[in-house]
Structure 1
Amino acid sequence: MDQLWPCHRGCDPPMEHDRNALIPALSALADSGRLRMLRLLERAELSVGEIASALQLPQSTASRHLKTLMDSGWLSRRSVGTAHLHRLADDPLPEPLRGLWQSARAGLGHSTQLEDDDRRLSSVLAERARNAEAFFGRVGGEWDQIRTQLFGRAFTAEALAALADPSWTVADLGCGTGDAASLLAASVKKVIAVDREPAMLRAAQKRLEDTGNVDFHAADLESLPLETASVDVAFILLVLHHLEDPQKAVNEAARILKPEGTLVVVDMTPHERKEYREIMAHRHLGFSADQLKDWTKHCPLDLAHSRPLRPDPNAAGPGLFVARFSRRENA
């Protein structure tokens, strides 16, 4: 038996070694998204952002598929600056991967989806080749990641807060741990943070202990300890679905707003996740556009604008909306 294989005792026979190497390669071809990806990477060397654009995938999904294909031997990668460019490994592919890919590619056939992939790839490649914007064409889908590595995540929201009028008094109603209050405090005259939960309020106070223009109040949103017409802008962010009667909180927000003041509400669009009632004490499974309009019938607010927020591919919860209400001047 020692003479059957030209290797040291204990080594695997060649056929067994090849079989073990083929298992992950075969497994990687079991996903149609990865097959579409290989089809494009046979034609062009692409960054993860370009692949995500061509296949209309979230970048996180494209990255996950690329890792599987890299680990199973289907792809090679090289770095250009901060970008990583991927292509089908060692053109032509070594056997037996070449035969596997030829069979898999033939099995894809022709479809509208593949034609759309080709059109989007052509657009991606055309954008890359245009002019000095080629860099951003190559790494556009990765730019958020690059920018985050260089500058962090907080600066965009903090910079946008500078749009606020520095003379404003802003009420953060249902402030939680002070996320919104911490962003606004540096840009406005005063922030009033209100929450009914003592633990939340303590966390907010700790977070903002070095900020001198934030007042804290432990109170229900249905009965605010604030003077009428004392606030320029009020925020209610992901709070109303916890309240038995959201209308009362909206009425109170309207009361404390100055004439022509603004109320901003962020909450969930209608959904069917009934388990949220039990596990997170939700009283309402989102709010419809008609419900937003109905609130204005019972208080001196007009619905100026509302729209769904773009979904975050990494978020697990229901969709969100943002609504902006304006207080009637002479109401």
Structure 2
Amino acid sequence: MASSNIGLGTAAIGRPHYINIRESSEDAFDLQAFKKKAFKVLDAAYKKGVRYYDTAPGYGIAEQILGEWLLTKNDPSVEVATKWGYVYTANFDLHADIHEFKDHSVEQLTKQWEDSKILFPNLTSLQIHSATFDSGVLENEAVHQKMFEIKKSQNIKIGLSVSGANQVDILKKALEIKIEDEPLFEIFQVTYNILDQSLLTILDRIKSNGNRIIIKEGLANGRLLPNADYPHYYDLYKTLAHLSEKYAVGSDAIALQFCVQSVAPFMVLSGASTVKQLKENLKVGTFQLSDEDLALLYAFKTEPEAYWQERKQLQWN
């Protein structure tokens, strides 16, 4: 049975290409085969006890796939979170000039919210997809009011996901936003992993009001898995290999367990695109890292600016 802290992110099963380090394929895209593979991953997650699924309109056809799959379950214990603000444009073409674009307008919120309703009755939360200062969404009172109305009328939680070297500053700003003297946001989906540990500087403040913390990119888009292209992480890879041998699990499970133990979040998301990857990820919770193990991993934190500059170099594949 899976750890109760592990959820499944659907970006990798809703579109064939993602910013990540993984095996790429130039095979012709087959929609039916793609959906069949996605259903297998969802079924495997469910059988392993996963009951939290994260999706977004920006993840290709992930919402459609998840909506169809939910009809086969009729299980009120399954919780779905979606986001709004990114529009997927690649149409499954790896060589597309633009894979997605951001639109944080109230009009886009209204449009994507209507589409996301296919996820009811399992839909429990709605988040701004990758909130930034540049998009102006944190100052857009029309957006705030619309999300507050959705929160109250649908009885769902409202949140945001953040990325970038200044994600802590974005979180601080978000915590200040109130409607009718009530904090607007209660879900904070944050990039956190062995390399980018900046969340820890604001962790207690976020948790103080009982807010949910969702961890994404726990494997640093694949950079935490041994890779010859990143020789500067040799000592980290060596440490992960040692801990993998110690606990008889993969480096991915070690990295995700670090997230679970160091943050104690509501959920850590697996971004698995195959059943094999998923099963390896879900070995989280079958062991506990010692204080000495955690200390070793804490020591590999990098500066956010360096982390995100390196991430910008990753390609769609």
Q: TM-score, normalised by structure 2?
A: 0.29
Rg bigger for which structure? Answer: 1
Bigger share in strand: 1
Q: TM-score, normalised by structure 1?
A: 0.28
